[in-house]
Amino acid sequence: MSGGFRPGRAPALLPEVATPSPRIATRSLVHRNPFATVSAVHADFGSFAKDYYVVDFGPRAGIVAVNEGRVLLTAQYRFLLDRAAWEIPGGRVDDGESPEQTARRECLEETGFSCDDLHPLVTYRPGLDNVENLTSVFYSERVKEHRPFQPDPAEVLSLAWIPLEDCVSLILEQRIVDALTISAVLAYRCVVARRGKDHGRPAPRS
């Protein structure tokens, strides 16, 4: 792994905020299934108290794999849409794996494409109180076919290489609705725009 985003100016400032200091009174497991646990937390802040229910899916990782300005998307059947959705490759971080290893492995497993060089892109959480699912996204611009893609009705149905600006349009038209893909593609779009500006050369055509 090398590179990644390097800000061309001083870090942006956020105001300092004095935060309340909770004393956690209880934390108990209230549900477990093969993909997640749910814990009930009672947090005592002194002048007030709050109850949280935390769904823990564990960490996951994804990758924006780019070739000549086109982004690699996979189509999988998704239960909550009841149709195929177009998404970047990604999945759960296995025990002992780094998020970077996961991103690399998922891309290879799902698409047959290997990524030479990974750059950190964005890290996010689906929820800050109730969903533990730390998501690390990388990008790679050195992507090669390692083995031919094999469609699998139970996993990836199809692949597509979509120009970056078309991916942005599909997001704004609500035809890509996956949070991972949206965060990843829009962050990559910003990195490309800033790189073009910082280096005095145009962003890659896409």
Contacts (CB under 8 A) with its own copies, residues 137-176: 153-154, 157-158, 160, 162-163, 166-175
Question: Of 12-71, which residues contact its own copies (CB under 8 A)?
Answer: 12-15, 17-20, 22, 30-31, 33-36, 38, 40-41, 43, 45, 47-48, 50-55, 57
Among 71, 88, 118, 122, interactor with its own copies by CB under 8 A? 122
- Burial code (b: 16+ CB inside 10 Å, e: under 16) for 107-134 equals beebbbbbbeebbbbbeeebeeeeebbb
Tokens of 12: 């942006």
Instruction: Supply the minimum distance, in Å, between the C-beta of residue 36 and its own copies.
Output: 7
Q: Tell me the C-alpha distance between 11 and 24, whole Å.
A: 33
Taking CB under 8 A as the binding criterion, the range among 83-91, 96-104, 105-113, 141-149 that sits at the site for its own copies is 83-91
Instruction: Supply the minimum distance, in Å, between the C-beta of residue 126 and its own copies.
Output: 4
Q: Tell me the C-alpha distance between 79 and 110, whole Å.
A: 18
- Burial code (b: 16+ CB inside 10 Å, e: under 16) for 22-61 equals beeeeeeeeeeeeeeeebebebeeeeeeeeeebbeeebbb
Instruction: Supply the minimum distance, in Å, between the C-beta of residue 148 and its own copies.
Output: 17
Question: Of 90-119, which residues contact its own copies (CB under 8 A)?
Answer: none
Tell me if 190 contacts its own copies by CB under 8 A: yes
Q: Are 102 and 92 in contact (CB under 8 A)?
A: yes
Instruction: Supply the minimum distance, in Å, between the C-beta of residue 38 and its own copies.
Output: 6
